[in-house]
A = this chain, B = another copy of it.
Amino acid sequence: MLLAALRGEVLEANLDLVRRGLVLSTFGNASGVDYEAMKPGDLVITDLQGKVMEGTLRPSSDLPTHAALYRAFPSIGGIAHTHSEYASAWAQARRTIPCFGTTHADYFHGPIPVTEVMAEDEIVGEYEANTGAAIIRTFENLDAMSIPAVLVANHAPFAWGRDPRKAAETAWMLESVARMAYLTVSINPHASDIAKTLHDRHFLRKHGEKAYYGQME
């Protein structure tokens, strides 16, 4: 893909997050850069160590977290970090989002995990890089491509995908799933995860070699 096209795609994915209410648009234009006024050429290109390759603005202070994830999960082509309300509430509550139903299973092949609370020295030190490390540890025994999202404890979600558009879509699905899980535990505090068979059936209807959802076999 040409770099110009990638810039356009990244900007569009960011605007998507704003339009879907997952991030609060910069209030007026006092802090940071106003998304609506941003042009593809304003985006900064860095390498996987976070070194600026192209661009005049400085990259986001969250860059070390993103760079750590791109290095650890080579299949990732886009990451969306939001403070969307329901997913952030689960992160603040330090609770894994259980898989209560097929809406969840259609998109995520397991519960949405929450990271461990970070240690004092991780916060005082290279905080943003350490946030990335905490996420990576959470996926030691999980597949980051079939569960493409995480809750950072006391913070908020990160979601990802093969490209920026897919990452934004995942952030949006995560928020829907988080909201339905919230309603579910409010109705029934003892609600339990669905059976693995049902989870597999729904995830595999949509993903992998034998996917058939949306059209008959």
Min C-beta distance of A104 to chain B, whole Å: 9
User: Is A7 part of the binding interface, using a Cβ–Cβ cutoff of 8 Å?
Assistant: no
Stretch of A71-79, A120-128, A137-145 on the interface side: A120-128
Chain B residues near A61: list those with CB within 8 A: 205, 212-217
- Asked if residues A154 and B123 are in contact (CB atoms below 8 Å), the reply is no
Chain B residues near A6: list those with CB within 8 A: none
- B176, B186, B198: the one within 8 Å of A154 (CB): B198
- Which chain A residues numbered 165 to 185 have a C-beta less than 8 Å away from chain B? 165-166, 169, 172-173, 176, 179-185
Assembly CA distance A185 to B83 (angstroms) = 17
Using a CB–CB distance below 8 Å, which chain A residues touch chain B?
24, 27-28, 30-33, 50, 57-61, 63, 83, 85-86, 88-95, 100-103, 117-118, 120, 123-124, 127, 154-156, 165-166, 169, 172-173, 176, 179-188, 191, 194-195, 197-198, 201, 205-206, 212-217
Number of copies: 4
Assembly CA distance A134 to B197 (angstroms) = 17
- B95, B103, B117, B215: the one within 8 Å of A187 (CB): B95
Chain B residues near A182: list those with CB within 8 A: 183, 186-187
- Asked if residues A188 and B120 are in contact (CB atoms below 8 Å), the reply is no
- B60, B92, B124, B187: the one within 8 Å of A100 (CB): B92
| Shortest Cβ-Cβ A-B pairs, 5 listed | A89-B183, A93-B188, A58-B215, A92-B100, A93-B187
- Asked if residues A187 and B89 are in contact (CB atoms below 8 Å), the reply is yes
Chain B residues near A195: list those with CB within 8 A: 117, 120, 123
- Asked if residues B28 and A85 are in contact (CB atoms below 8 Å), the reply is no
Chain B residues near A24: list those with CB within 8 A: 176
- B28, B83, B118, B216: the one within 8 Å of A198 (CB): B118
Q: Evaluate whether A83 and B59 lie within 8 angstroms (CB atoms) in the complex, with A92-B191, A95-B188, A180-B88 already known.
A: no
